Amino acid sequence: MKNFTIKNARVIDPANGVDKVKTVYVANGKFAAKAAEKSEVIDAKGLVLIPGIVDIHAHLREPGQTSKETIRTGTSAAAAGGITSVVAMPNTVPAVDNTATVKLIDELIKQNAVVKVYQTGCITEGRAGQKLSPIGSLKNAGVVAITDDGACVQNNELMRNALEYADMFSLLVMDHCQEASLTAKGQVHEGEWSCKLGLAGWPSAGEDLIVSRDVILSHYTGARVHLQHLSSAYSVDIVRRAKARGVRVSAEATPHHIALTDAACEGFNTNAKMNPPLRSESDRKAIIKGLCDGTIDVIATDHAPHSVNDKDKEFDYASFGIIGFETSFSVCYGALVKSGAMPINRLVELMCSKPAQLLGLNAGTLSIGAPADFALIDLEAEYIYEKTYSRSSNSPWLGKKLPAKVMQTFVDGRRVYSAEKGIEAR
């Protein structure tokens, strides 16, 4: 661990209302008020210094699916994208529905993680939607939320019970909103491109119904519920009206739903196949409006690695999902800031401070005494996204030019990534 003095950077820290050129000090792994002895000086002129990005929705695949990703490769990719905290989903093999699996993954994290990793637990045993997991035991084991991500709980009574129990233990329930009977055969958004491609449509109503259900259950139980990867304009409106009534609901959007539409599936491009699907331009604009007015609270990647064999097949049989760690800031900067939709301060808030606040993580801020997790970014640099640290390469942006290059990433005052050297030794 080194001590650092970072000079001449534009420092953006929404949690403290900071946006100015100033010097930042790091001592003993934390942000400090003054320089420590034997401090390495970094001249960051022309760069922006932001808190480390906090990604509250990602898949690291280990244990059980290491042909797609490992904790080491996934967190390396996160570091290359300026992400210093990752919240991992519980759809591993075995699923994270018991304390033994939590402990197993904790050991893997300690041995292999390049950035910080927080675990979530399952709402139901095996993510099967039949019986609640031991929620209190999972909380005591250290999970920061519960979710059956990718396998939405269809039973309304069970979901109500999950919210009530989770609230007793001050755990956030995160829900993948998908009504199974409407979406079982869906491949792409039900609309123009499903017709052009001759693929089964996936209606927005398949999301809207569960969003409505979760809002109603949150209202009746008083428990918090977080709606993952919103994609539908109508869902955004439901959340907006629920918040106006004081319902304890929060929501996230992904970079791909912010930047792309279902037109990206042209040519049966399986790297544009995801769950929920890319939707229409009107849906995309509604997502951006929701981010701008506070209806949608955070941006999260839903990083979902798949092997070449999972994607290189007929569209109907290809897996849903894309990787997103390395490109998340660049894609959002281009779609939201360069487009004029929002100032960069708001983007940093959505990707750093707000996600940390939502889950109560000690992250997303440059406050004195806070862990020195931060990234240095060149907003003027453009680069071709052609190298990935992930074990998978299922990205619609591979080979494309992107703005805003991450130059260095630090975790607890230790440089874990630089554009010059790549991932630095643990």
pLDDT digits 0-9 by tens, 54-64:
999 999 999 99
pLDDT digits 0-9 by tens, 357-410:
999 999 999 999 999 999 999 999 999 999 999 999 999 999 999 999 999 999
Per-residue burial over 367-385, b if 16 or more Cβ lie within 10 Å, else e, is: eeebbbbbbbbbbebebeb
How far apart, in whole angstroms, are the C-alpha atoms of residue 326 and residue 396?
12
Q: Is the pLDDT assigned to residue 426 strictly greater than 90?
A: no
Q: Is the pLDDT assigned to residue 35 strictly greater than 70?
A: yes
Q: Using alpha carbons, select from 92, 146, 86, 141 the residue that is nearest to residue 118.
A: 86
pLDDT digits 0-9 by tens, 241-280:
999 999 999 999 999 999 999 999 999 999 999 999 999 9
Q: What is the pLDDT of residue 40?
A: 95
Segments making up each domain of the chain, as ranges: 3-47+376-423, 52-364
Which of 36-40, 283-287, 357-361, 377-381 is least confident?
A: 36-40
The residue written with tokens 């955070």 in the block is 298
pLDDT mean over 18-37: 96
Q: What is the pLDDT of residue 2?
A: 84
Q: Is the pLDDT assigned to residue 355 strictly greater than 90?
A: yes
pLDDT mean over 102-122: 98
Q: What is the pLDDT of residue 101?
A: 98
Q: What is the mean pLDDT of the chain?
A: 97
Superfamily of domain 3-47+376-423: Urease, subunit C, domain 1 (2.30.40.10)
Backbone angle region of 349, left / alpha / beta, with phi > 0 → left and psi within -120 to 50 → alpha: alpha
The two three-digit tokens of residue 354, written as one number:
């707000």
Q: What is the pLDDT of residue 392?
A: 98
Fold of the domain spanning 52-364: TIM Barrel (3.20.20)
Distances (CA, A) of 60 to 70, 77, 123, 165: 6, 11, 18, 27
Q: Is the pLDDT assigned to residue 87 strictly greater than 70?
A: yes
The alpha-helical segments, DSSP class H, found in 81-144 are: 99-112, 135-141
DSSP 405: E
Q: Would you name the residues annotated as active-site residues? A: 302
Q: Is the pLDDT assigned to residue 1 strictly greater than 90?
A: no
